[in-house]
Chains A and B, each alone.
Chain A
Amino acid sequence: MAPPQEPGAVVDIRALHTRFGKAVVHENVSLAVRPGEIFSLVGGSGCGKSTLLRAIIMLLRPVSGSIRVFGQEVIGLSDEKALPLRRRWGVMFERGALFSSLTVAENVGMVLHEHTRISAPLIDEIVAIKIALTGLPADAGAKYPNELSGGMRKRAALARAIALDPELLFLDEPTAGLDPLSASGIDELVKSLRDVLGLTIMMVTHDLDLLWRTADRVAVLDKGNILGIGSMTELSHLDHPLVHEYFYGPRGRAAREQAWKKK
């Protein structure tokens, strides 16, 4: 099942094995994310999608295997050596994880203050443009996260994730809990970020519309293994009951038909 080692892959995972106590999360996961693509992880609840993401961004240490990001092994990397790597990626957490004691603008600006030598007034302006880029109204910057709606909080989290213009963006459930309008706004945003900034995006999502509209390649995870990797069209021909259910269940069908109509 393991694909051949891909030179130049942004994220390259080989034979990853993860465990929580006795519960095996990943048995043998291998995948590669190519530069400039939108790569998505899908699978049922609790199949280890978010855990895989956490392993890549070094919040969790796998039992064995290798994870290379920008060609560098991240398992066992010291914090000092990880810093340059961490500056090159942005992470948007599922529930936003905005710092509740800071305003949205301070949340976004903090990253710039920490990692660049840009002057404070220019940082404020850059923060304003990031906030505008994610489709938030201008007055949202002065608000605290708890004063925002769920959808706005998500956008604010995205604004913080792209604060440093990272080359690689990790999105954990970018559209979960959003109304369809905001969700399709996120679709557009993800695509334009990739097209304009040349980002590589790796996301975890259940949103079939988002998958059909943005994802270049998708990996289906189940019981700690990868069932298949490919474009949505390729995967929909895959002969596996779970994949079939995923794409041809009532919701999958609607999303697929819409995607075809668009084309």
Chain B
Amino acid sequence: MTAMLIAQLEIETDTATVPASANLRCAGAWTAQGIAPVEQRLTALSFPSASKLVIDVSAISALDTAGAWLLHRTLRALEQRGVKVRISGMRPEFDALLQLIAARAGTTEHAAPVKIGLLASIGQQTWRSLLGFSGMLAFVGESAIALLRSLAQPRRIRWRPILHNLQTAGFEALPITGLLSFLMGVVIAYQGADQLQRFGANIFIADLVGLAMLRELSPLLTAIIVAGRSGSAYTAQIGTMKINEEIDALRTIGVGPQELLVLPKILALIIALPLLTVYADVAGVLGGMIMASSKLGVSFDVFLDRLDDAISLSSFLTGVGKAPVFAAIIALVGCFQGFQASGSADSVGRQTTVSVVQSIFLVIVADALFSIVFNWLNL
């Protein structure tokens, strides 16, 4: 049975050392599943020109396009080398297939893909990055114009998507933000406890936890969580809409995609992120407080008393004040990368990755800039 499912080939040559004529007997199933064994042998086949070759195909039990192509290719190669080929025993239905393949074969030559050199590829990459940067700038500009237009006509602000985004990006992020911030507070208190205990400065645990969480860690941690949760979702949503031509459809209906898709996200995130940051502040300090009482014996009311003295209003505000800027960065990058998607499902995945990496990167850069500016201002 297996013998029937693969292609077979027998070559008989006349006895002379340089054969002047030969018989080629093809048998078995010349199909995509079966031709693998004879493929190598056929390519290696060589006959001197002007020799006579008889190909007997009467024993071929099955022929499909793959097999027919192999046969056709072999015949053509032999003829080009001047071998006189005669085919015998061709069944009419196989002949029809061979004719079809021969008729279509002329149109299959295609150009090899162009190879790109190292220098050229560096150039292309650089150019693409520059284009991406200018595209981002243009996008920020467009969003600003759309925002101004909306503010001039408050009737055009889309409240429903804003509320929806507030819920998904803000409210639904509460558990994860709270938990991570709480753990962060625990970790900082735990790390600080040892050092403070050595100097007998147990009470300063409140300063350490309070300042670190409120000024730096809460805003940063919240922004990173939101970039991962919501920034990626924005890119994936807009990217998929772009590929399904939904963005084009919006434009033809006369609804600006900026107005419908981008602005609500930016506005919602600018509202949600500061609120989440305050919530993270509370959770982080709570974590530090629990750790302080168990490790250092600083009771809750002593801790809170000290916290009141240690943390000025400006410390709290510098932390929360960064959040809207982070929010704008995350929403803008997320939406922009969504619009950059084109063509395939692959590209949505790629842009989503780029979006998360870029927004976290920009958030940290912005945080560093804030530190420098606050330092100048002595805040």
Measured CB to CB, the residues of A under 8 A from B are 87, 100-101, 112, 115-119, 122, 125-126, 128-133, 137-139, 141-142, 144-147, 162-165, 192, 195-198
Judging by beta carbons under 8 Å apart, are B65 and A101 in contact?
A: no
User: Which B-chain residue is minimally distant from A124 (CB atoms)?
Assistant: B110
Checking B69, B96, B110, B344 against A196 with a beta-carbon cut-off of 8 angstroms, the contacting residue is B96
Judging by beta carbons under 8 Å apart, are B108 and A129 in contact?
A: yes
Residues of A within 8 A of B93 (CB): 196, 198
CB distance from A244 to the nearest CB of B (A): 38
Judging by beta carbons under 8 Å apart, are A118 and B96 in contact?
A: no
User: Bound complex: CA of A133 vs CA of B113, how far in Å?
Assistant: 22
Measured CB to CB, the residues of B under 8 A from A are 31-33, 35-36, 39-40, 64-66, 69-70, 73, 93, 96-97, 100-101, 104-105, 107-111, 113, 243, 342-346
User: Bound complex: CA of A164 vs CA of B97, how far in Å?
Assistant: 15
A to B CB contacts below 8 Å, 19 in the list: A87-B33, A100-B346, A101-B346, A115-B32, A116-B36, A117-B36, A118-B39, A119-B40, A122-B39, A125-B108, A126-B65, A129-B108, A132-B104, A133-B104, A138-B108, A142-B111, A142-B113, A145-B344, A165-B31
User: Bound complex: CA of A48 vs CA of B371, how far in Å?
Assistant: 64
Judging by beta carbons under 8 Å apart, are B35 and A101 in contact?
A: no
Judging by beta carbons under 8 Å apart, are B100 and A118 in contact?
A: no
Residues of B within 8 A of A164 (CB): 32-33
Judging by beta carbons under 8 Å apart, are B100 and A192 in contact?
A: yes
User: Which A-chain residue is minimally distant from B346 (CB atoms)?
Assistant: A101
Judging by beta carbons under 8 Å apart, are A165 and B64 in contact?
A: yes
Judging by beta carbons under 8 Å apart, are B343 and A144 in contact?
A: yes
Classify the secondary structure of A's interface with B: helix
User: Bound complex: CA of A90 vs CA of B39, how far in Å?
Assistant: 24
Checking B108, B113, B344 against A146 with a beta-carbon cut-off of 8 angstroms, the contacting residue is B344
Residues of B within 8 A of A197 (CB): 64-65, 97
Judging by beta carbons under 8 Å apart, are A139 and B65 in contact?
A: no
Central interface residue in A126, A142, A163, by most chain B CB within 10 Å: A126
User: Bound complex: CA of A197 vs CA of B31, how far in Å?
Assistant: 11
Residues of A within 8 A of B111 (CB): 139, 142
User: Bound complex: CA of A117 vs CA of B100, how far in Å?
Assistant: 25
Judging by beta carbons under 8 Å apart, are A130 and B65 in contact?
A: yes
Judging by beta carbons under 8 Å apart, are B32 and A126 in contact?
A: yes
User: Bound complex: CA of A82 vs CA of B100, how far in Å?
Assistant: 32
User: Which B-chain residue is minimally distant from A167 (CB atoms)?
Assistant: B64
Judging by beta carbons under 8 Å apart, are B110 and A139 in contact?
A: yes
Judging by beta carbons under 8 Å apart, are A132 and B36 in contact?
A: no
User: Which A-chain residue is minimally distant from B67 (CB atoms)?
Assistant: A165
Checking A100, A122, A195 against B96 with a beta-carbon cut-off of 8 angstroms, the contacting residue is A195
User: Bound complex: CA of A125 vs CA of B43, how far in Å?
Assistant: 13
Judging by beta carbons under 8 Å apart, are B39 and A119 in contact?
A: yes
Judging by beta carbons under 8 Å apart, are B344 and A138 in contact?
A: no
User: Bound complex: CA of A115 vs CA of B36, how far in Å?
Assistant: 11
User: Bound complex: CA of A162 vs CA of B100, how far in Å?
Assistant: 15
